Amino acid sequence: MTEIGWFCSLLAQVSVFHVEQYLGSGAITAIALIVLLAVLLPRGRRSSIGSPVILLALYFTMRLLHAATPGDSLVDIPFHFFAILFLFLSLGRSSFLLAFHSILTRRFGTGIPKIVLDVIQALIFTAAFLFTLNAAGVTLTSLVTGSALVTAAIGLSMRDTLGNLFAGLAIQMQQPFEIGDWIQFDQHLFHIGEVLEINWRATKVLTLDQVEVIVPNSELAQAPIRNFMKPHGYSRRSIYVVAPYHVPPRQVHQLILEAVGGAWGVLEFPAPTVVTSDFNDRGVEYWVRIFTDRFDKRDAVDGGVRDRIWYAFHRNGISIPSPLRHVQLEEVTHEKRGQEEATRIDQNKKVLRGVEFLKVLPDGAIEQLAQAARRHLYAHGEIIVRQGDEGSELFILTRGEAAVTATNAEGTSVEIGRLGPCKFFGEMACMTGERRSATVTVTKDCETYIIDKDAFKPILEASPELAETMSEILATRRAEIDQRSAEVSGNGESSYPRRGDLLDRIREFFSL
């Protein structure tokens, strides 16, 4: 506020009583500036002389009204105030046009951004208004010091406007794009257009659809802008073409380059290139890359290149292939389904006959189990069964490997052994319903056949004597497993059920 107060104090030093004697010379100066503008302004800019002429005409009108009004009239002071204001505005506008549209343009040969000119013009008009207030006797220092609250309120209400203003100034300073450039200002492909104007609030863009889009400067300042005209005045275009597999790629490359050369809108430098980019269901895909400086006509350029390629292919007997689809129709009859089922059962029977535990079963029983067997796959690291879990399935490994582990009295997991192809586990849970006595973890991807209690039940009900034979096999196998477990874990000898006990548990579990 100190600098503003000093400036206003400086304005206050101008004597109000001497304004009248300078109005005549000011009017002469304004007329002289308008004459200079008529001589020095370029032809395309001479229409802008109208604004200072109108302002000067308003000054003379106010002077005449002031002279014709009695001194004690209520409208005498406003006529006098606006006369001074219009004179200062005319002088400011003429000086601005002379400086920035005549002298600087002729000397440097480049235009100044419109937003910068708008800001300078606004400052000149503000200064003219302050001089007029000073000439009218208004104390500017008290006006400024007493308007802090009003200034804060105006600043908050114009936050977006000020944001656009400063964003526009930043765009003009950095110059990511200029008037005439083609830019893309968001991710939508239809938001590509030519920059027509950059003003203090927004940027005006004209798309290929001849739609005018007004983009606020604050949004442009935060958006990733793609400028298709920088760093060079040309840009690359990509066109994809598909040719049959039987045509050699080198031949296709040569045909495309010959066809594209000299096409309308395609530059000779950088030269067009072709890359074999993909093999898909249609054929070999080729990526044609061209450069053009006619970005505003890019669709026509792309279309002309495609036309050239089609004619070149047609002259050389190359057709653009359609997508290939291989459709195989196969009728599945009841006879074929029966054959597939018979093959599956035969394969399952071979697997089951290789299991020692099932060798005592007759062919009819093996046939029944083969029909009920399910094939499952397990990946490395998966747990097939966990110690202590309930279950009633028998597992037969046909491929892969699994580790058998059990938890000893100290709570430590100990590996009892490894199972490979043709080995089985879970027979006690399947035949007696007891909980799993060990954990089986896959160490190599496994293929297993699974047979549950429901598959054994009709077999044992039809031949109860098989339960006795199977109890003997189970007792022997359980004794071997318990002995092995005791040796590995160091717990001494383990007690295992006798054959008679297993037979009773089998009969009870199957309700025989």
CA distances from 44 to 95, 105, 106, 109, 195 (A): 18, 12, 13, 15, 21
DSSP 3-state percent helix, strand, coil across the chain (nearest 5): 55, 20, 30
Asked if pLDDT for residue 108 goes beyond 70, the answer is no
CA angle 108, 112, 116 (to 5 degrees): 145
Counts of helices then strands in the chain (DSSP H, E): 18, 14
Instruction: Tell which wins on pLDDT, 311 or 38.
Output: 311
DSSP per-residue codes, 319-340 = --PPPP---------HHHHHHH
- C-alpha span between 195 and 416 (Å, rounded): 79
Q: Supply the pLDDT for residue 275.
A: 95
Count other C-beta atoms under 10 Å from residue 322's C-beta: 10
Query: Helices 114-135 and 2-12, interaxial angle, to 10°?
Result: 50
In this model, does residue 510 exceed pLDDT 90? no
499 closest CA partner among 466, 468, 464: 468
177 — pLDDT class (breaks 50, 70, 90):
confident
For the ranges 60-74, 119-133, 135-149, 307-321, which has the lowest average pLDDT? 135-149
Confidence of residue 9 (pLDDT cuts 50, 70, 90): very low
356: pLDDT strictly greater than 50: yes
Distance CA 96, CA 127 (A): 13
Within 19-75, where are the H helices? 19-40, 50-68
Whether residue 510 contacts residue 457, with contact meaning beta carbons closer than 8 Å, is answered with yes
66-80, 252-266, 412-426: which is most confident? 252-266
pLDDT score of 5: 45
DSSP assignments along 154-185, one per residue: HHHHTHHHHHHHHHHHHHHHH-SS-TT-EEE-
Whole-number average pLDDT of the chain = 79
Give yes or no for a contact between 461 and 436, defined as CB atoms under 8 angstroms apart: no
Which tokens sit at 254? 């040569």
Identify the top-confidence range among 37-41, 257-261, 343-347: 257-261
**What per-residue confidence (pLDDT) applies to 136?**
65
Q: Quick one: pLDDT at residue 14?
A: 38
Mean pLDDT (whole number) for 301-323: 92
| Res 271: pLDDT | 93
pLDDT of residue 496: 54
Which of 131, 134, 198, 136 lies closest to 171, judged by CA?
A: 198
Contact 201, 216 (CB under 8 A): yes
What average pLDDT does the segment 338-358 reach? 82
User: Which one has a higher pLDDT value, 341 or 297?
Assistant: 297
Out of 76-85, 132-141, 321-330, 394-403, give the one with best mean pLDDT.
394-403
pLDDT at 124: 83
Q: Please state the rounded mean pLDDT for residues 14-43.
A: 69
pLDDT computed for residue 119 by the predictor: 73
- Most confident listed range (217-226, 316-325, 396-405, 478-487): 396-405
Answer whether residue 377 shows pLDDT above 70. Answer: yes
The pLDDT of residue 26 is above 50: yes
Please determine, for residue 307, whether its predicted confidence score (pLDDT) is greater than 70.
Answer: yes
- Give residue 113's pLDDT: 64
Confidence of residue 253 (pLDDT cuts 50, 70, 90): very high
Q: Is the pLDDT of residue 327 over 50?
A: yes
SS3 445: strand
Higher pLDDT, 136 or 260: 260
Lowest-pLDDT range, 295-309, 330-344, 355-369?
A: 330-344
pLDDT, tens only, 441-494: 999 989 999 988 888 888 888 877 777 777 777 777 777 777 766 666 555 455
pLDDT at res. 22: 54
Find the mean pLDDT for residues 188-194: 80
Which single residue is written with the structure tokens 């089922």?
341
On the question of pLDDT at 164 being above 80, the answer is no
Tokens of 191: 């938001």
Instruction: Please state, for a pLDDT cut of 70, what percent of the chain lies above it.
Output: 79
145-151 mean pLDDT: 52
* Percentage with pLDDT > 90 across the chain: 17
Instruction: Provide mean pLDDT across the span 306-328.
Output: 88
Q: Give the pLDDT score at 240.
A: 95
First to last CA, the chain: 107
For 430-440, write each residue's pLDDT tens digit.
888 888 888 99
Task: Return all residues near 498 (Cβ < 8 A) that are at least 6 apart.
Answer: 475
Q: Residue 74's pLDDT band (boundaries 50, 70, 90)?
A: low
Q: Is the dihedral of CA 330, 331, 332, 333 positive or negative?
A: negative
